[in-house]
């Protein structure tokens, strides 16, 4: 019960002061790190020995350590597309055909700069014809500013998206 009161008091105090961290840390009291670092947001380390300590749930995350890593994880990019297909009112066979097209696009996107631009453009145009809403959703995901795809894939998606 005392913890709940402390939490409510802390929330009221934060609201009173208008504290908005935007995801960073806020400390309303002392910090004891036991001679460790206190990091309020991101910590960039360069040179020397590096170690990674992770606490908490990182399920569904990609963690890469070392120098020069390239990580392409399209799972999170395509998951909403597959969900939209499944939730659509289309007949079962149409859903299967559209999902197969999306799988081909996903396989090609994973090739990064080695992707076949012509093949990718044909698949994307076909999706726009088969299911305009799904096609538009996929094109927005591939061409969007937060898309973790190669420049080639973004350019193809932008071109197909701009076509009438």
**Nearest CA among 121, 94, 98, 97 for reference residue 108:** 121
Question: Which residue is associated with the tokens 């390239």?
Answer: 70
| Cα-based distances in Å from 44 to 39, 73, 74 | 10, 22, 25
How confident is the model over 27-81, as pLDDT tens digits? 666 667 777 777 766 666 665 555 566 556 655 555 555 555 555 555 578 888 9
**Nearest CA among 98, 164, 87, 104 for reference residue 135:** 98
Q: What is the pTM of this model?
A: 0.55
CB 101 within 8 A of CB 137: no
Query: Which residue ranges make up each domain of the chain?
Result: 75-162
How confident is the model over 134-158, as pLDDT tens digits? 999 999 888 877 677 888 888 999 9
């Amino acid at each position: 019960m005392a913890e709940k009161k402390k939490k409510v008091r802390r929330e009221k105090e934060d609201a009173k002061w208008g504290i908005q961290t935007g995801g960073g840390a806020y400390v309303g009291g002392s910090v004891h790190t036991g001679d460790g670092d206190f990091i309020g947001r991101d910590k960039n380390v360069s040179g020397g020995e590096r170690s990674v300590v992770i606490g908490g749930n990182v399920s569904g995350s990609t963690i890469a350590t070392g120098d020069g890593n390239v990580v392409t994880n399209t799972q999170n990019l395509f998951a909403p597309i597959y969900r939209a297909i499944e939730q659509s009112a289309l007949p079962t066979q149409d859903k299967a055909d559209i999902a197969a097209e999306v799988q081909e696009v996903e396989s090609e996107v994973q090739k990064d700069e080695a992707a076949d631009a012509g093949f990718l453009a044909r698949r994307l145009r076909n999706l726009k014809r088969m299911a305009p809403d799904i096609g538009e959703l996929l094109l927005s995901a591939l061409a969007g500013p937060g898309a973790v795809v190669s420049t080639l894939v973004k350019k193809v998606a932008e071109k197909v998206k701009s076509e009438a």
